[in-house]
A and B are shown apart, each in its own frame.
Chain A
Amino acid sequence: MSIFGLAFYFTFGGNILVQWGVFPSARTVRVGSWGASFAFMIAAALAAVFDGFIFRYTLTPMGLESMAPVTFALFVFGIYAAIRALFSTINKPFFDPFDERSFQLTLVLYAAAMTAGQCFSSVWLLLGGGAMAALGYLAATRFLDAIMERLELEPVPAAFRGAPIRYISAGLMALAFSGVDASFFARISG
């Protein structure tokens, strides 16, 4: 699959917001910040490679597919401990991991890793798939934010303001994404 096909698939068809319902809470990633977005894409790519390789080449041959959540948790805790050690070495404060944003970020990384791992097996496609899944999530989050900002100007009934209209907007966006995916992606990927 070409890089354009990958990007197209993960932005529309395999988007983890519209397919998995992983809603951004309190700005999981600062969409406006290029650095944060890039770091998020790298993290998703690494998570996809780790999860895909462990699942395919270690757990599946041994018949231990059920242990996949445990290995991914060990990976996340390991990465966290390594970054924390790095920050303490350079005497800089590290963020508190017990907030909603950190939890949501872990869920998004896991969803991106699972989505890419289901589709690909080679290391380059897993790297690209993980990064593109993160890009698709950021794009869908930005679209949803833009829709919500636009809806603030409209006379939305009181009962639908806030979470209900957010859900319905995401549902309609999911419908449009699946339509675009079915119309174009099938042709691009052949």
Chain B
Amino acid sequence: MPNDDRTVTTRAWAAFVGLTPLLVFSNGLLIGLVLGMTFLVVHSTASAVALLVPVSFGRRRIFVFSMAGAMIAASVCATLIRIIDPLLFESAFTRIFLTAYTVPVFNAAVVPASMADRERAWENMARGLGYGLAIVLVGLVRELMASGGVTMVQAINPSVLLPIMAQPAGAMVLLGLVAAGFRVATARSVNR
């Protein structure tokens, strides 16, 4: 079914573009893990609340409840990070708060239109896990390319390999190259 495949690919690209702020901010393994975990919790909360609130509440109210739940989840995650590592919170709180305002979270908070969509809504949880893993993976790759090594300690890494990879410009170039690679791989699999 080529048309269905195209729709799935288009949706995946839209989500990827919506996730770009978090991918740009994820410039190391530690921050990638923090952002990935927070995103997973926020995304799952938004999609779960959208399913649990009765449909009789109406679309707008369900959206408001889901987003409020997602914001509270982001706040709880930020509080936990603050308790565990105050220095990490101080350096990354704007990025942590941003997780609640990304387009995939907004999309997850919209109540599914039909009953069939509601039954398939558990896929949102799996989608959130995939996005979270992508954020962690991008952080890992960028830290590896920027410093030539990976560490879980928040400290200045003395070794330097490709410092541009730690900057937003490097993230966007890397994402462009990954997108081109993904496109080549997809075209090859379709041709087979």
A binding-site residues for B, Cβ under 8 Å: 18-23, 25, 65-70, 73, 77, 97-98, 100, 103-104, 106-107, 110-111, 114, 118, 158-160, 162-168, 170-172, 174-175, 178
Tell me how many residues of B have a C-beta within 8 Å of chain A.
52
Q: Is the CB of A164 within 8 A of B167?
A: no
Q: Is the CB of B98 within 8 A of A111?
A: yes
| B75 interface neighbour in A67, A167, A171, Cβ under 8 Å | A67
Beta-carbon nearest neighbor of A118 in chain B: B94
Which residues from A are CB-within-8-Å of B168?
A: 18-21, 171, 174
Q: Is the CB of B103 within 8 A of A69?
A: no
**In whole Å, how far is A88's beta carbon from the nearest beta carbon of chain B?**
13
B55 at the interface (CB under 8 A from A): no
Q: How far is the CA of A106 from the CA of B103 in the complex (A)?
A: 9
| A164 interface neighbour in B107, B170, B180, Cβ under 8 Å | B180
B147 at the interface (CB under 8 A from A): no
Q: Is the CB of B13 within 8 A of A163?
A: yes
Q: Is the CB of A70 within 8 A of B75?
A: yes
**In whole Å, how far is A68's beta carbon from the nearest beta carbon of chain B?**
6
Which residues from A are CB-within-8-Å of B13?
A: 163
Q: Is the CB of A114 within 8 A of B94?
A: yes
Q: How far is the CA of A160 from the CA of B76 in the complex (A)?
A: 40
B24 at the interface (CB under 8 A from A): yes
